[in-house]
Structure 1
């Protein structure tokens, strides 16, 4: 877990990375430093990622939302930015913990279709023989991650409406396999903000500047 930015100021922001090749570093070396100039920012390593222990089980959204609750228990109500599966956990957390989340930014969420489609979407970043490749292989072969993903029901409009009145921003990639997720969010939450950026699933890398601006505007808008 990494804390950036001021110890006081606007609502804290917790940034959640995606599975397999993601970690706190995904945000630390891209968007987080700019956002931390104005507010406290907390970056997490999910279990089995980055510096966190690779547990054999517990990769469903319910378990990971529980992890998030424990890792943010010291914070006042906070905003969440979640990329990929991190966005799914963010929605689950907001539904399970009413009043804890002030706003949600969902970056290329894998809501449309089978959640296991996350695997081929990130596979290009896990080349054989690299650290990322070895870590991904261990997650695939030595944990229940794939089983847990397969057991996750598809995200529905009712699930998304379960976040209540929390302001929502959704940003998807024009070339992402999950682009239709933005349309699903739009049907469920017509008042939400939605943007399509040129790029694929890794918008924090390929559309870093534009994503940073969208997140900054959303977080700083008192009327969001």
Structure 2
């Protein structure tokens, strides 16, 4: 479990298929960690790509800091991580607030990003955004404990709950995370978002409160397509195979040509919204 020293933070990083010809970097959401991808979605993508996962600052096994949870600081970390790993250009996938980090990265450093996949990226201007992220992050942690603990599940689960309780306490009470997130309220209206040139896949749970956010992004990013999958805001945990297959199809070369050639071959679920 390597920890990489960057100019401003130490980040815990995991790689799958490090010899892959193309790289995808996956960004988790606030109050969770890289495990949201590690056990299901990342191994699917690692059949074709080098997959890089990392715990954002203040999360998982990465360094704990009290400030710097705004999108500019987060993308500075990601930029530094790419430099440290020798990654000139990578596809990006981000979930929840991690999706906003991916969007900001594409807007600030377009030359470093290939394709862009946003999973349940919430509109920061919505009053419910922080509550949604908080509620579903807790659900994710419970799911993680119940499904991915080892044979000493009860003991490991108790330890994990205590560990994540401390993480919540730290993030909520000792950092600028809430004010930093609230300061991003105008992000979806930023001209830089509408100027994102990358081919972009937007995946949202059909029962999610964030579907309007997906529709907003689809209307503003010129080269974006919205797909609705069964589930709610926690769709990567609820439907990892569906999400993995959508990402795999999107990232593999030639996927757009196939869609244009066979428009009638689309699955009824997930639903693609043109």
Structure 2 spans left out of the alignment, 5+ residues: 1-12, 143-160, 257-274
TM-score (norm 2): 0.75
Deviation at 1:137, TM superposition (A): 2.1
Contact 1:121–1:177, Cα closer than 8 Å, also in 2: no
Matched, 1:176 2:187: no
The aligned counterpart of 1:8 is: 20
Output the CA distance in 2 between the equivalents of 1:186 and 1:96: 19
TM-score (norm 1): 0.91
Output the CA distance in 2 between the equivalents of 1:120 and 1:171: 17
Deviation at 1:112, TM superposition (A): 6.2
Superposed, 1:12-161 pairs within 5 Å as 12-20=23-31, 22-73=32-83, 74-111=86-123, 113-114=125-126, 117-123=129-135, 125-126=137-138, 130-154=162-186, 155-156=188-189, 158-161=191-194
Contact 1:174–1:199, Cα closer than 8 Å, also in 2: yes
The aligned counterpart of 1:162 is: 195
Structure 1 spans left out of the alignment, 5+ residues: none
Output the CA distance in 1 between the equivalents of 2:45 and 2:34: 14
Output the CA distance in 2 between the equivalents of 1:104 and 1:6: 20
Equivalenced residue count is 221
Structure number, greater radius of gyration:
2
Matched, 1:215 2:247: yes
Give the secondary-structure state (helix, strand or coil) at the position aligned to 2:110: coil
Contact 1:80–1:105, Cα closer than 8 Å, also in 2: yes
CA RMSD of aligned residues (A): 2.1
Give the secondary-structure state (helix, strand or coil) at the position aligned to 1:176: coil
Output the CA distance in 1 between the equivalents of 2:61 and 2:243: 26
Give the secondary-structure state (helix, strand or coil) at the position aligned to 1:7: coil
Contact 1:82–1:105, Cα closer than 8 Å, also in 2: yes
Deviation at 1:214, TM superposition (A): 0.5
Output the CA distance in 2 between the equivalents of 1:190 and 1:95: 13
Deviation at 1:116, TM superposition (A): 6.5
Higher helix fraction: Structure 1 or Structure 2? Answer: 2
Output the CA distance in 1 between the equivalents of 2:97 and 2:64: 17
Deviation at 1:157, TM superposition (A): 6.6
Greater shift in the superposed pair: 23-32 or 81-90: 23-32
